[in-house]
């Protein structure tokens, strides 16, 4: 067997679905050919006749699949550090919003930014994630809120995939907030639905998302967006039950959503519906932390009913200015009591599932893209345990 490259003396976190836990292989080897994984298993099971153009010894280092950040709003203009300062000084979110702050201040800055500006503003955030081994990222629009700006944000997100060695999945989140020029939420949803066919035709987005919440859009309005997405052949996802229980999880499941995200207020019925539909739960501890939330997502119900759990940064300028999946895992452990196995699966296999890309990435299995994160740690728990430390030894994208 002829490989392009082989890594020997590795400890593999394969996350093979059939294995329990992390699917660990000690004394492992992993090899690549044409960017794909050509072998991942026990050294002793390597076919005897192998050769490789390059051989690397890892001295027992741990290899995980490249990390997948499956929920971000990475592309936006400006930042909200000043608002954060005002909030620390006692201003309420509402006061800030009324004086032109909040989501709408990001909308203003994003509308004023060119595509180049947006790419340049986003690259440092992306580079921070890449430096921790992220090889696939989802990026939502939602700070443009008009046709030109939303399309520009999606184009900027697509361009990031050409600027860096990373796979970018894009999601159209036109139904994120009511833009200032609209008074009526239903009329704005008409406008959002009208944009969807062109977005699908131009391959600007892989999925459509909405913010279903008292301060954003109702379940009925969300359903209209979902119908338009389905008609255009796009997958759907949902910001669901973050601040109140509008039964967003159930709604997402009814539409066969890839994921429902946040879910702090989801009830057991929602969890059951998600399990039946195969809708992945994406938990976002960064927003929970930043907003000092108290209501925990229903983890026991998710576990009991077999809902798959992913974890992501929710990188956004308002409620989660977070560009570290390692720190996100630590927060998931301390705030949500997720286990090390759940967290590592949550930023690899389950995050890939939440993007509908599990057939291509997210585990160390023959035939998938050879996207790897190689870590200088003694044991996988260290990835979750340390705070503000990056033990990445090497990142491999498509075998190189």
Spatial distance between the Cα atoms of 167 and 220, rounded to a whole number of angstroms: 33
Provide the pairing of β-strand 51-57 with 134-140: unpaired
Q: 352 near 297, Cβ under 8 Å?
A: no
Q: How far is the CB of 103 from ligand DI6 (least distance, A)?
A: 4
Find the shortest distance in angstroms from Cβ 209 to Fe ion.
Answer: 8
Number of H helices, E strands in the chain: 15, 15
Q: Does 316 bind ligand DI6 (CB under 6 A)?
A: yes
When asked if residue 317 is in the footprint of ligand DI6 (CB under 6 A), the reply is yes
Alpha-carbon distance of 144 to 173, in angstroms, equals 9
Q: Where are the beta strands (DSSP E) in 58-150?
A: 62-65, 67-69, 134-140
Reported for 37-42, long-range contacts at CB under 8 A and 24+ positions apart, including other chains, are: 37/364, 37/365, 37/366, 37/367, 37/368, 37/369, 37/370, 38/1, 38/3, 38/366, 38/370, 39/1, 39/3, 39/6, 39/366, 40/12, 40/14, 40/364, 40/365, 40/366, 41/12
Query: If binding is defined by CB under 6 A, does position 287 make contact with ligand DI6?
Result: yes
Report the distance separating Cα 361 and Cα 66, nearest Å. Answer: 8
CB closer to Fe ion, 132 vs 209: 209
* Positions in 186-215 near ligand DI6 (CB under 6 A): 211
293 binds Fe ion (CB under 5 A): no
Which of residues 106, 222, 266, 324 is near ligand DI6 by CB under 6 A? 106
Nearest to ligand DI6 of 176, 247 (CB atom): 176
- Give the binding range for ligand DI6 (CB under 6 A) out of 125-133, 314-322, 328-336, 340-348: 314-322
Kindly indicate which of the ranges 41-49, 311-319, 330-338, 373-381 contains the residues binding ligand DI6, using the contact rule CB under 6 A.
Answer: 311-319
How far apart (Å, rounded) are the C-alpha atoms in residues 319 and 317? 6
- For residue 317, the partner it binds in Fe ion, ligand DI6, none, with Cβ less than 5 to 8 A by kind, is ligand DI6
Q: Residue 399 interacts with ligand DI6 (CB under 6 A)? A: no
| Nearer CB in complex with Fe ion: 83/138 | 138
Q: How many CA atoms lie within 13 A of 190 on its CB side?
A: 6
Tell me if 313 contacts ligand DI6 by CB under 6 A.
no
Residue 101 or 362 with smaller CB distance to ligand DI6: 101
- As measured in angstroms, the least distance from the Cβ of 173 to ligand DI6 is 7
Q: Which of 241, 264, 314, 350 binds Fe ion (CB under 5 A)?
A: 314
User: Taking CB under 6 A as the rule, which mask of x and - marks residues 137-176 in contact with ligand DI6?
Assistant: ---------------------------------------x
d(CA 291, CA 96): 15
Q: Which is nearer to ligand DI6, 222 or 363 (CB)?
A: 222
**Alpha-carbon distances, residue 223 vs 226, 237, 250 (angstroms):** 5, 11, 11
Question: What one-character DSSP code corresponds to residue 66?
Answer: P
In angstroms, give the least distance from the CB of 68 to ligand DI6: 20
Distances (CA, A) of 179 to 145, 150, 170, 221, 251: 6, 12, 21, 15, 24
Site for ligand DI6 in 232-251 (CB under 6 A): 239, 242
Q: Is the dihedral of CA 260, 261, 267, 271 positive or negative?
A: positive
Q: Which stretch binds ligand DI6 (CB under 6 A): 251-259, 274-282, 316-324, 390-398?
A: 316-324
Footprint of ligand DI6 (CB under 6 A): 102-103, 106, 176, 211, 239, 242, 287, 316-319
Footprint of Fe ion (CB under 5 A): 314
């Amino acid at each position: 067997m002829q490989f392009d490259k082989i890594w020997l003396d590795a400890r593999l976190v394969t996350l093979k679905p059939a294995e329990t836990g992390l699917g660990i292989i000690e004394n492992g080897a992993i090899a690549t050919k044409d960017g794909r994984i050509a072998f991942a298993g026990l050294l002793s099971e390597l076919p005897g006749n192998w050769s490789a153009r390059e051989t690397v010894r890892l001295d027992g280092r741990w290899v995980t699949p490249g990390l997948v950040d499956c929920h971000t709003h990475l592309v936006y203009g400006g930042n909200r550090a000043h608002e954060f300062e005002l909030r620390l000084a006692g201003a309420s979110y509402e006061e800030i919003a009324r004086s032109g702050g909040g989501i709408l201040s990001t909308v203003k800055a994003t509308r004023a930014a060119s595509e180049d500006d947006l790419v340049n503003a986003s690259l440092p955030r992306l580079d921070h994630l890449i430096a921790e081994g992220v090889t696939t990222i989802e990026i939502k629009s939602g700070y443009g809120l008009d046709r030109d700006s939303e399309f520009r944000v999606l184009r900027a997100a697509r361009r990031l995939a050409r600027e860096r060695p990373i796979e970018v999945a894009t999601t159209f989140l036109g139904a994120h907030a009511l833009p200032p020029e609209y008074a009526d939420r239903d009329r704005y949803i008409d406008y959002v639905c009208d944009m969807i066919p062109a977005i699908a035709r131009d391959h600007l987005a892989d999925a459509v998302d909405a913010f279903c919440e008292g301060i954003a859009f109702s379940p009925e309005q969300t359903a209209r967006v979902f119908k338009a997405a389905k008609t255009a052949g796009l997958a759907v996802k949902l910001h669901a039950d973050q601040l109140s229980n509008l039964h967003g999880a159930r709604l997402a499941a009814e539409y066969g959503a890839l994921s429902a995200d946040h879910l702090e207020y989801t009830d057991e019925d929602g969890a059951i519906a998600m399990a039946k539909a195969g809708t992945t739960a994406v938990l976002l501890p960064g927003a929970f932390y930043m907003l000092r939330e108290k209501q925990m997502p229903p983890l026991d119900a998710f576990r009991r009913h077999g809902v798959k759990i992913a974890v992501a940064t929710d990188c956004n300028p308002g409620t989660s200015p977070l560009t570290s999946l390692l720190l996100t895992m630590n927060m998931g452990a301390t705030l949500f009591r997720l286990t090390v196995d759940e967290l590592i699966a949550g930023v690899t296999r389950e995050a890939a599932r939440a993007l509908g890309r599990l057939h291509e990435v997210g585990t160390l299995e023959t035939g998938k893209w050879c996207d790897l994160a190689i870590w200088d740690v003694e044991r996988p728990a260290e990835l979750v345990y340390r705070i503000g430390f990056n033990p990445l030894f090497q990142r491999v994208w498509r075998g190189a």
